[in-house]
Amino acid sequence: MEIRTPRLILRSARPDDLEAMHAVLSDPRATRWWSTPPHETLDQTRAWLEGMIANGPNHPDFVIERDGRVIGKAGFYAMPDIGYILHPDAWGQGLATEAVGAAVDHVFATRDLDTLTADVDPENAASIRLLERLDFIRTGFAERTWNVGGVWKDSLYYALSRADRAVTVAGQAPA
């Protein structure tokens, strides 16, 4: 499956995405607030990628390509929870907003589902800003939800309703 946005292609993962996704998942800047420590071996990333591929070609979880290069992933490893990570070289250009927005719109267009969710570290300012830009609403907070490499992390919970997203998309449409 493939989704095109102005600058990106979101598509199903393939085995040959291994090196590019390892570059993302082994980078400590990218995994600072991720659910696992940076990958140390290619085998760790291979297992991660195989999990993504095993969800099947119609599952809405995507690697992100820009100009033919894989720069990260966005989508729903487990519905209805959104997950996204980009290589730091790609940060700060609105690319995550573009990719995550497209993944969200795709799911609302193709699935009978009224609410999408997100679980974000309270210190992850970029991710919180991204979610709020896409009109996710904060729904809760919990302490010590993830143990990442021996360190307990907290969670802020967010949700986006189909109705709220529809208002946003309508508001962005050309007159």
Give the footprint of ligand COA on this chain (CB under 6 A). Answer: 30, 33-34, 84-86, 91-97, 120, 124-127, 129-130, 133
Whole-angstrom distance, CA of residue 27 vs CA of residue 40 = 9
Quick one: 56 or 66, whose CB is closer to ligand COA?
66
Which of 92, 140 has the CB closer to ligand COA? 92
Residue 112 or 143 with smaller CB distance to ligand COA: 143
In whole angstroms, what is the distance from residue 55 CA to residue 83 CA? Answer: 15
As measured in angstroms, the least distance from the Cβ of 166 to ligand COA is 20
| Sheet with 61-66: strands ordered across | 2-4, 9-11, 61-66, 69-78, 81-86, 115-120, 151-161, 137-148
Measured in residues, the chain has a length of 175
Q: Is the Cβ of residue 8 or residue 18 nearer to ligand COA in the bound state? A: 8
Instruction: Give least dist CB 92 to ligand COA, A.
Output: 5
The nearest distance, CB 112 to ligand COA, in angstroms, is 25
For the bound state, the minimum distance from the C-beta of residue 37 to ligand COA, rounded and expressed in Å, comes to 13
Determine whether 164 is exposed, middle or buried from the number of CB atoms within 10 Å of its CB (0-12, 13-18, 19+).
middle
